[in-house]
């Protein structure tokens, strides 16, 4: 059994979907822990270490973000704050005048931090390439999902169900790396 520490229920839903496929039981706890500012990797390591110590059991945490090339990879590690302040419309405004899909390149990144009592934390990075659409599309998912276009699917994350998204998302990629490692090392 793995405990996923997060305050984001959308993440839990996506993770449950993925863990089911790998036959690993997942529980969810919201520790209400305040993340330090730093790279995704630093935040994931600090969070996993803190939670494993506090709960005295194996845990995973995730730090994720949207990285937009033409904005110098903003909002990146500020994704959560930016979503809560300027939101999707604010991002679209910042990209006003950039009409070429190639110039609207973006990546979602997800870092899973794993830690257990008396072991050092480990991290697993998952990424997904796409682009930012000209206006929001779709009402599924959460946060930046209606902005993020996936060329292979010809759809935004906002147009996909949780089940569809979790087949190939940045979160799927990081969790799959984690699960493969976990199955052969636990």
Q: Which residues in this chain contact ligand ITT in the complex, by CB under 6 A?
A: 6-8, 11, 35, 62-66, 79-80, 83, 141-145, 157, 171
> Would you say 164 is a known binding-site residue?
no
Nearer of residues 66 and 133 to ligand ITT, judged by Cβ: 66
> Would you say 145 is a known binding-site residue?
yes
Q: In whole angstroms, how close is the CB of 96 to ligand ITT at the nearest point?
A: 21
- The length of the chain is 186
Residues whose CB falls within 8 Å of the CB of residue 184, separated by 6 or more in sequence, listed in order = none
> Would you say 64 is a known binding-site residue?
yes
Nearest C-alpha neighbor of 2 from the set 127, 162, 22, 165: 22
Nearer of residues 32 and 97 to ligand ITT, judged by Cβ: 32
Q: In whole angstroms, how close is the CB of 184 to ligand ITT at the nearest point?
A: 26
Residues whose CB falls within 8 Å of the CB of residue 131, separated by 6 or more in sequence, listed in order = 101, 102, 104, 105, 106, 148, 149, 151
> Would you say 35 is a known binding-site residue?
yes
Q: In whole angstroms, how close is the CB of 137 to ligand ITT at the nearest point?
A: 13
Nearer of residues 50 and 144 to ligand ITT, judged by Cβ: 144
Cα 118 to Cα 93: distance, rounded to the nearest angstrom: 47
Nearer of residues 7 and 117 to ligand ITT, judged by Cβ: 7
Residue 130, classed as helix, strand or coil, is strand
Annotated catalytic residues are 63
HSE at residue 49, side-chain half, CA atoms within 13 A, is 13
Residues whose CB falls within 8 Å of the CB of residue 90, separated by 6 or more in sequence, listed in order = 82
For tokens 């706890």, the residue is 29
Q: In whole angstroms, how close is the CB of 105 to ligand ITT at the nearest point?
A: 17
> Would you say 7 is a known binding-site residue?
yes
Nearest C-alpha neighbor of 35 from the set 13, 10, 65, 1: 65
Which residues are known binding-site members for Mg(2+)? Answer: 35, 63
Which residues are known binding-site members for substrate? Answer: 6-11, 64, 142-145, 165, 170-171
């Amino acid at each position: 059994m793995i405990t996923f520490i997060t305050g984001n229920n959308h993440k839990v839903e996506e993770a449950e979907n993925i863990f089911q496929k790998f036959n690993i039981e997942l529980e969810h706890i919201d520790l209400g822990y305040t993340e330090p500012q730093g790279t995704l990797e630093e935040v994931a390591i600090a969070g996993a270490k803190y939670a494993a110590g506090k709960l005295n059991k194996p845990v995973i945490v995730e730090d994720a973000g949207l990285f937009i090339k033409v904005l110098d990879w903003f909002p990146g590690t500020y994704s959560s704050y930016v979503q809560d302040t300027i939101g999707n419309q604010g991002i679209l405004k910042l990209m006003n005048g950039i009409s070429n899909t190639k110039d609207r390149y973006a990546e979602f990144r997800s870092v899973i931090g794993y830690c257990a009592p008396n072991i050092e934390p480990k991290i697993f990075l998952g990424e997904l390439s796409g682009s930012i659409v000209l206006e929001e599309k779709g009402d599924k998912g959460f946060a930046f999902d209606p902005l993020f276009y996936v060329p292979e699917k010809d759809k935004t994350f906002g147009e996909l169900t949780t089940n569809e998204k979790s087949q190939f998302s940045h979160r799927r990629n990081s969790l799959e790396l984690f699960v493969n490692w976990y199955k052969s090392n636990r």
